[in-house]
Amino acid sequence: MVRPTMEDVAARAGVSRALVSLVMNNSPKVSAARRAAVLRAAEELGYQPHVMARSLASRTSTVLGVMVNDLRNAFFADIVEELDTAAQVAGFDLVLNTGGRSPTREWNALHNLLSFRPAGIILLSPVVPASAIQVAAKQCPVVLVSRTIRSSIVDTVNDDGEAGSALAVDHLVGLGHRRIAHLDGGGAAGAAQRRRGFESAMRQHGLEPVVVRSEHTDIGGENAVRELLATYERRELPTGLVAGNDFNAVGAISALEEAGLRVPEDVSVVGYDNTSLAALRHLSLTTVDQPRKDMARLAFEALIERVRGERTEPVRHLLHPSLVVRATTAEFSQTGGAAR
């Protein structure tokens, strides 16, 4: 288990430790002969530089701290995957933490990341108070994804939840729907923006926004629809639903079908997030897609720019979502739709 050090390689190659260091960092000022000798010695010994020692000595870090509040959320898992891909290319390593949606746990996690003296930190939808983020940002560059903050030293990357909801509303209105309801995600991340976007888009169309309190789960969607069914007469029922997210949409569809209403013939439903769920042909959910890849890329780039000191002005990316039209939305028909 005891691994060779630079000293060992130097001895075997018959050169100094400093020369080995130069070779390992492929410095141009090493003669071809020595370089070959060192490389061979390293190969024979199975030598590999010690990242931490290197980091200590060079006062630089190749570590990027990543804290994700919940990795089970496919959205964040996707982002992490993209971040890692970019990091590998750029020669960085990810130290990853989960915050479990708990401020205190996140606070600890953040501390752990900082104790690595990382080059930078990316926080995915953190729930810690802004002050904690500000403290971290004084130690190294910090980029926030799916969270905003008023700070001149923190960059943020968000999708425009308001625009996303507006996209859904516009789509439904374009299909002739007038009575449209939003299933609100409550306190979930991004839910507030989605609701705001829904409301203002509806008003823009001169329509009255109907908002039902719900949750970002399928059960939440079911309950919300039941409430709708209990509140409105059949003929007054909204014919278009803008769900808080895809799970919510699926639940809504279940409850609608249970009540004898067909989707999309009687009611059109739009989800949000474009999860793998939505793409299933079985569901073919019309939904709003957040450009995760772009978000990850921009977050990574913003961080690296700061790390390299290429920029000091804060940057706030607000990405435009897009609508993926599938089979749960259709033209509004007075009569209640044609058969399939």
What's the CA gap between 295 and 161, in Å, rounded?
13
Q: Report the interface residues with DNA, using CB under 7 A.
A: 5-7, 15-19, 21-22, 24-25, 28-31, 33-34, 48-50, 53-54, 56-60
Within 13 A of 3's CA, how many CA atoms are on the CB side?
8
Which of 22, 303 has the CB closer to DNA?
22
Which of 29, 138 has the CB closer to DNA?
29
Which of 205, 306 has the CB closer to its own copies?
306
Closest approach, Cβ 296 to DNA, in A, equals: 29
Which of 42, 201 has the CB closer to its own copies?
42
**Which of its own copies, DNA, none does residue 98 bind to, with CB < 5 to 8 Å depending on kind?**
its own copies
Closest approach, Cβ 141 to DNA, in A, equals: 18
Q: Report the interface residues with its own copies, using CB under 8 A.
A: 1, 3, 48-53, 55-56, 66, 70-72, 74, 77-78, 80-81, 84-85, 88, 93-98, 100, 105, 108-109, 111-112, 114-117, 138-140, 218-219, 222, 247, 250-251, 253-254, 276-277, 280-283
Which of 81, 208 has the CB closer to its own copies?
81
Closest approach, Cβ 141 to its own copies, in A, equals: 9
Q: What are phi and psi of 246, to 5 degrees?
A: -65, -40
Closest approach, Cβ 41 to its own copies, in A, equals: 18
**Which of DNA, its own copies, none does residue 5 bind to, with CB < 5 to 8 Å depending on kind?**
DNA
